Amino acid sequence: MLLAGERAQVCEYARRMTADGLVVGTSGNISVRVGEHVAVTPTGVDYANLRPEDVPVIALDGSPVDGELKPTSELPMHLSVYRRAEDPDDAPITAVVHTHSIHATAVSTLVDEVPPIHYMLAAIGPTARVAEYATYGTDALARTMLAALDGRRGCLLANHGTITYGSSLSAAYHRAQQLEWCCQVWLLARSAGAPAVLPKIELERVHDKLRTYGQP
């Protein structure tokens, strides 16, 4: 089976998204790229029952390569990230995670960008922008998303959710979790008053430190 390992990864992380509360039902989607091929969650399938053979493989031009099921309706966003997004540190982009996480979605209705409420926002960028609203599954949404991703590894989608990417599926998923957590912290702090935020120079300092974070 083509991209068997990557298709199994997509199933594993799709179920994890549900368990972690980042999606509800069949919302949200995940993809992994290998060369010119992308393994991506199918549309309208319960993730609890998702099998590797259910995960379609698509070419970067959007044409089907392997699998019987239709890909997610958000395929234009995923393919746009792989074709046109640029990582701030020139790392390869091999995975995309799109969530409907509740706190980030709520924040997307309030502001144009998530302020630097915590240093872990540097996993995304100096801030996390909110892409202008466009109907789901459209090229218009892919365009507004790309604008918001400029110089960032993730963004919020107005009245919709989030999207993050990484050089691995674990990295992209970790960023989705961190973005949701930062949004939750900001909402909680904002409900009690006017939260203090970190200066831009501190986010830049943390960004540099994160490059060498973890085990070699």
Q: What is the DSSP letter of 41?
A: P
175 neighbors 166 (Cβ within 8 angstroms):
yes
In order of 41, 81, 92, the CA distances from 152 in angstroms are 24, 12, 14
117 neighbors 189 (Cβ within 8 angstroms):
yes
Order of strands across the sheet that contains 113-114: 64-66, 57-59, 37-40, 29-34, 95-99, 161-166, 154-157, 128-131, 113-114
Active-site residues, by number, are 74
Listing DSSP states for 156-179 in one string gives: EETTTEEEEEESSHHHHHHHHHHH
Helix (H) or strand (E) holding 53: none
* Separation between Cα atoms, residue 41 and residue 56, nearest integer Å: 7
Query: Residue 29, SS3?
Result: strand
